[in-house]
Amino acid sequence: MTVKYKHMQKVLSAAFIRSVVKAGRYGDGNGLYLIVDSSGAKRWVLRTVVMNKRRDIGLGGLSLVSLAEAREEATRLR
């Protein structure tokens, strides 16, 4: 059986993460997001379900947590 996804999520690259300045939520897949606020600050958030409720778990700012570390921590927390 073939599964087709309507909206495939793009995986973030290190170059994109360094260069993005527009405020928004940028998905890396599997609930991991890079949040860029209006001041340009960047942070990692894992969106997951805990006890049947959607929760956003902060993983840290981009200056402290790299892309690889954020992916690793998101996998551990899922």
The total domain count for the chain is 1
Assess whether pLDDT exceeds 80 at residue 4.
no
- Does residue 41 fall inside a structural domain? yes
Q: Is 38 helix (H, G, I), strand (E, B) or coil?
A: coil
pLDDT in tens, 28-53: 999 999 999 999 999 999 999 999 99
pLDDT score recorded for residue 9: 59
pLDDT at 2: 52
Residue 7 in domain: no
DSSP per-residue codes, 1-63: -----SSPPPPP-HHHHHH--S-EEEEEETTEEEEE-TT--EEEEEEEEETTEEEEEEEEETT
Q: What is the CA radius of gyration of the chain?
A: 13
What confidence tens digit (pLDDT) does each residue in 65-78 have?
Answer: 999 999 999 999 98
Q: What is the pLDDT of residue 45?
A: 98
Tokens representing 6 are 């309507």
Residue 10: pLDDT band by 50, 70, 90 thresholds? Answer: low
Residues 67/73, Cβ–Cβ less than 8 Å: no
- Domain containing 56 — which CATH number? 3.30.160.390
The domain of 28 spans: 14-77
